[in-house]
């Protein structure tokens, strides 16, 4: 679906923002800043960024889910097409035989066709709802995977902020040394391949 990549990018952006907010919220809840002391202006912190387009395009989880959605969409389209064509044939047959029908027979057939047409619309809406629910499920799962991993990765590497860097973000420049896309992507794919079982320490920055 065309909307899926957009939704995923949006979820990724929200995940990164919330991760940053939660990090500083946790810090502020355990230690109050004394009056007269400088706040974050005197606190050294590390920033990293992720190229979200690269992550979305190369994360195996997203690829598999996209393939599954596309396959299901094709099945839905064919099923709907078959039902619509069947209804059209019935309508054409009705029109061809209309002169040979009594008023009562014609009325009965018309009512039956109208009911089938309504059922077809209901079926079409159910397909649309199913795809929307699937996309929402993928978005929630992606949000959880990315957020949990970035929290773990940031804790290990003393990173206080991870931002999304692409043509739609507010970041105009970022040095390549701050780019953690590759290591994050490699670890996410590794865990996905292994069934997201046990976190490893391979993401530790040397």
pLDDT in tens, 110-165: 999 999 999 999 999 999 999 999 999 998 998 889 889 999 988 888 888 888 88
Q: Does residue 198 lie within any of the structural domains?
A: no
Instruction: Give the chain's domain count.
Output: 1
Q: Does residue 166 lie within any of the structural domains?
A: yes
Query: For position 24, what pLDDT does the model report?
Result: 44
Q: Does residue 135 lie within any of the structural domains?
A: yes
Q: Does residue 204 lie within any of the structural domains?
A: no
Query: What are the tokens at 186?
Result: 């490699």
Q: Does residue 206 lie within any of the structural domains?
A: no
Q: Does residue 95 lie within any of the structural domains?
A: yes
Query: For position 198, what pLDDT does the model report?
Result: 37
Q: How many CB atoms lie within 10 A of CB 59?
A: 21
| 64-83 as b/e: b if 16+ CB within 10 A | ebbeebeeebeebeeeeeee
Concatenated DSSP letters for the chain?
-HHHHHHHHHHHHHHHHHHHHHHHHHHHHH-PPPTTS--GGG----EEEE-HHHHHHH-HHHHHHHHHHHHHHHHHHHHHHHHHHHHHHHHHHHHHTGGGS-HHHHHHHHHHHHHHHHHHHHHHHHHHHHHHHHHHHHHHHHHHHHHHHHHHHHHHHT--EEEE-STTSS-----GGGB-HHHHHHHHHHHHHTTS-S--STT---
Query: For position 163, what pLDDT does the model report?
Result: 83
Query: For position 25, what pLDDT does the model report?
Result: 45
Which residues constitute the domain of residue 180? 2-32+42-193
- Which residues in the chain show pLDDT less than 70? 1-45, 172, 196-206
Query: For position 82, what pLDDT does the model report?
Result: 95
Query: For position 8, what pLDDT does the model report?
Result: 58
Q: Does residue 202 lie within any of the structural domains?
A: no
């Amino acid at each position: 679906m065309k909307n899926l990549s957009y939704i995923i990018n949006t979820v990724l952006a929200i995940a990164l923002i919330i991760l940053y907010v939660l990090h500083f919220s946790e810090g502020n809840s355990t230690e109050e800043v004394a009056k007269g002391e400088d706040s974050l202006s005197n606190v050294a912190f590390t920033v990293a960024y992720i190229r979200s387009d690269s992550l979305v395009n190369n994360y195996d989880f997203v690829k598999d889910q996209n393939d599954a959605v596309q396959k299901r969409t094709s099945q839905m389209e064919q099923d709907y097409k078959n039902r619509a064509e069947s209804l059209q044939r019935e309508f054409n047959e009705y029109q061809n035989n209309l002169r040979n029908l009594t008023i009562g027979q014609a009325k009965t057939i018309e009512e039956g066709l109208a009911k089938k047409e309504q059922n077809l619309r209901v079926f079409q809406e159910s397909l649309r709802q199913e795809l929307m629910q699937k996309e929402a499920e993928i978005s929630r799962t992606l949000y959880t995977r990315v957020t949990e991993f970035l929290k773990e990765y940031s804790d290990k590497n003393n990173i206080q902020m991870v931002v999304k860097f692409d043509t739609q973000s507010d970041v105009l420049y970022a040095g390549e040394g701050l780019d953690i896309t590759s290591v994050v992507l490699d670890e996410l794919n590794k865990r996905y391949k292994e069934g997201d079982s046990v976190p490893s320490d391979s993401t530790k920055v040397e």
